[in-house]
Chain A
Amino acid sequence: MAASTDSLPRFAARKNALAVIYEWLGTADHKKIGLMYIVYALVFLVVMGVEAVLMRIQLAHANSSFLSPEVFNRLFTLHGTTGVFFVGMPILFGFGNYLVPLMIGARDMAYPRLNAFSFWMTAFGGLLLYASFFAGNSVAQAGIAPDVGWFAYAPLTATAFSPGHSTDYWNLALLVAGVGSISGGVNFIATILGLRCPGMTLSRMPLLVWMNLVMGGLVLVTISPLTAAQLMLLADRYLGAHFFDPQAGGSVVMWMHFFWIFGHPEVYVLIIPCFAFISEIVPVFSRKAIFGYPAMVAATTSIGFVSLGVWAHHLFTIGMPSYGNAFFVLTTMVVAVPTGIKIFNWLATMWGGRIRFATPMLFAVGFLFQFLIGGLTGIMLATAPFDWQLANSYFVVAHFHYVIVGGILFSIFAAFYYWFPKMTGRLLNETLGKWNFWILLVGFHLTFDTMYVPGLLGMPRRIYTYEAGRGWESWNLITSIGVIFQGVAVLIFVYNMVWSYLRGPLAGNDPWDAWTLEWATTSPPPEYNFAQTPAVRSRRPLWDIKHPEDPDSKYE
Chain B
Amino acid sequence: MSATEANIPLGEAAWELPSRGKVGMGSLIVAESAIFTIFVVAYIFYIGKSLSGPTPREVLRVPIVGTICLLSSSFTMHWAIAALRKGRSGAFRAFWFLTFLLGAIFIGGTAIEWHHLIYQENFTIQTNLFGTTYYSLVGLHASHVIVGLIGLAVIMILAVLGKIRPEHTERCEVFSLYWHFVDAVWVVVFTTVYIVGR
Q: Do chains A and B touch in the complex (CB under 8 A)?
A: yes
**Contact residues of A with B, CB < 8 Å?**
110-111, 182, 185-187, 189-191, 193-199, 216-217, 220-225, 227-229, 231-232, 235, 239-243, 248-251, 254, 258, 261, 517, 520, 530, 532-537, 541-542, 545-548
Q: Which of B9, B13, B128, B136 contacts A232, CB < 8 Å? A: B136
Contacting pair B27 A189 (CB below 8 A): yes
Residues of A within 8 A of B36 (CB): 228
Q: Given A232-B39, A250-B132, list of 4 further CB < 8 A pairs?
A: A194-B18, A194-B23, A231-B136, A243-B136
Contacting pair B17 A194 (CB below 8 A): yes
Known: A193-B18, A220-B30. A239 touches B126 (CB 8 A): yes
Contacting pair A228 B35 (CB below 8 A): yes
Residues of B within 8 A of A534 (CB): 8-11
Which of B9, B19, B51, B132 has most chain A Cβ within 10 Å?
Answer: B132
11 contacts between A and B (CB under 8 A): A190-B23, A194-B20, A198-B13, A224-B31, A227-B35, A229-B38, A249-B50, A250-B129, A254-B45, A536-B9, A548-B4
Contacting pair A242 B10 (CB below 8 A): no
Residues of B within 8 A of A224 (CB): 31-32, 34-35, 38
Cα A194 to Cα B19 in complex, Å, equals 6
Contacting pair B24 A110 (CB below 8 A): yes
For residue B6, CB closer than 8 A to chain A, the reply is yes
Cα A195 to Cα B11 in complex, Å, equals 13
Contacting pair A241 B8 (CB below 8 A): no
Return B102 CB to nearest CB of chain A, in Å: 28
| Closest A-B pairs by Cβ, 10 of them | A194-B20, A224-B34, A228-B38, A240-B126, A533-B11, A241-B132, A190-B24, A110-B20, A198-B15, A186-B27
Return A220 CB to nearest CB of chain B, in Å: 4
**Contact residues of B with A, CB < 8 Å?**
4, 6-13, 15, 17-20, 23-24, 27-28, 30-32, 34-39, 42, 45-46, 49-51, 125-126, 128-129, 131-133, 135-136, 140
Q: Which of B17, B19, B24, B140 contacts A186, CB < 8 Å? A: B24
The A contact surface, by secondary structure, is helix
Which residue of chain A lies nearest to B40 when distances are taken between CB atoms in the complex? A228
Return B142 CB to nearest CB of chain A, in Å: 14
Contacting pair A198 B38 (CB below 8 A): no
Contacting pair A248 B129 (CB below 8 A): yes
Known: A243-B132, A249-B50. A221 touches B126 (CB 8 A): no
Number of A-B residue pairs, CB cutoff 8 Å, is 147
Return A9 CB to nearest CB of chain B, in Å: 16
Contacting pair A225 B27 (CB below 8 A): no
Cα A195 to Cα B20 in complex, Å, equals 8
Which residue of chain B lies nearest to A222 when distances are taken between CB atoms in the complex? B34
Residues of B within 8 A of A533 (CB): 10-11
Cα A493 to Cα B134 in complex, Å, equals 53
Return B187 CB to nearest CB of chain A, in Å: 19
Q: Which of B4, B10, B31 contacts A182, CB < 8 Å? A: B31
Residues of B within 8 A of A545 (CB): 4, 6-9
Residues of A within 8 A of B34 (CB): 220-222, 224-225, 228
Residues of A within 8 A of B32 (CB): 224
Cα A249 to Cα B37 in complex, Å, equals 21
Which residue of chain A lies nearest to B15 when distances are taken between CB atoms in the complex? A198
Residues of A within 8 A of B42 (CB): 232, 243, 254, 258
Residues of A within 8 A of B15 (CB): 197-199
Residues of A within 8 A of B7 (CB): 545
Which of A191, A250, A254 has most chain B Cβ within 10 Å?
Answer: A250
Return B170 CB to nearest CB of chain A, in Å: 12
Cα A90 to Cα B31 in complex, Å, equals 19
Cα A248 to Cα B128 in complex, Å, equals 7
Contacting pair B23 A198 (CB below 8 A): no
Cα A193 to Cα B132 in complex, Å, equals 40
Contacting pair A532 B10 (CB below 8 A): yes
Cα A162 to Cα B40 in complex, Å, equals 27
Return B128 CB to nearest CB of chain A, in Å: 6
